[in-house]
Amino acid sequence: MTPDTARARVVKRSLAIAGHRTSVSLEDAFWRRLQAIAVDRGVSVNALAVEVDAARDGANLSSALRVFVLETVSSAARAPQAS
């Protein structure tokens, strides 16, 4: 597997949402970025997933996490850089 295809591989991971175990299937690239966002915000990945879960309005949790990562990264890219 090349590095690019390794990042595209979907891996199932477990989380606890509202006291219940659930699993999400995310590509490694999305999972690593989700971890980085959690570190930047000073929260756990699980806590971040709880926030996304609360706002997902019926969407699939894995999809909602991908969109959250995409929007967070896109927003950061558009933000003016501090000098």
Token readout for 23 is: 């699993």
Q: What is the pLDDT of residue 68?
A: 97
pLDDT confidence band for 82 (50 / 70 / 90): low
Q: What is the pLDDT of residue 18?
A: 87
Residue 48 sits at φ, ψ, to 5 deg, of -65, -40
pLDDT confidence band for 7 (50 / 70 / 90): low
| DSSP-derived secondary structure for 26-49 | EEHHHHHHHHHHHHHHTS-HHHHH
Task: Write the pLDDT tens digit of every residue in 31-73.
Answer: 999 999 999 999 999 999 999 999 998 889 999 999 999 999 9
Vertex 23, ends 20 and 25: CA angle to 5°?
160
